[in-house]
Amino acid sequence: MGGIDKFTASLWEQTVRGDKNLLETYGDPVARGRIGVFVVELYGKGFVRVLTAQGSKMVGEYEKLVAIDGSDSNVQKKSAAGRAAGAVLTGGLNMLSSNVRGDLILVLVTDKKTHTISTQVPDKYELEVFHTLRTSAQAILGANDGANADQASTESADTVSRIEKLAELHATGVLTDEEFSQAKRKLLGGQ
């Protein structure tokens, strides 16, 4: 199971596999992982749970997945020269931060709502989770082949495309950090 540490995967699978009602209703656990502050769980019968922290517990309801889309196209490794220059200026502190920059965006369209999950500086783990979830969900949706998936996928692709354009404007200096954040929040429905 990609995109998740083995200990967490083992606990999650034992919990789900131990509950026959969960298995019958939602299917086998397929993928689980964290992107930003969200944990996403994907199940074999096309269900998904987007979990968020509420106090000391992670909560989220089971929803039928209709479409999935996302983009990691503007995620890039930082250049060695840039990292070296930053190390000189920060006394090496920048070497503790991520070696990538850019936006990672995952859009999950369910029967109940659209979840847009994004992070501005994804780590290696988040990139792995993103690819595992997207690939697994597309395979499940392809097997189920719902007619509504095309419409929902088009809507989510449009959102991702608009955010990518904003990211380009931000990267070229046309938008300030604050303008970029406000515009992105507006596209994501105030999240």
**Residue 162 lies in domain:** 6-187
| Residue at 1 is within a domain | no
pLDDT of residue 12: 67
| Residue at 72 is within a domain | yes
Q: How many domains does the chain have?
A: 1
| 77 membership: H or E segment, kind and range | strand 76-77
| Residue at 150 is within a domain | yes
Q: Is the pLDDT of residue 7 over 60?
A: no
Whether the model clears a pTM of 0.85, i.e. scores above it, the answer is no
Q: Is the pLDDT of residue 145 over 80?
A: no
Write out pLDDT tens, residues 118-139. 887 777 888 888 889 989 999 9
Question: Between the CA of residue 73 and those of 83, 102, 112, 160, what are the distances in Å?
Answer: 21, 8, 28, 10
DSSP collapsed to 3 states, 12-53 = HHHHHHCCHHHHHHHCCEEEEEEECCEEEEEECCCEEEEEEE
| Residue at 165 is within a domain | yes
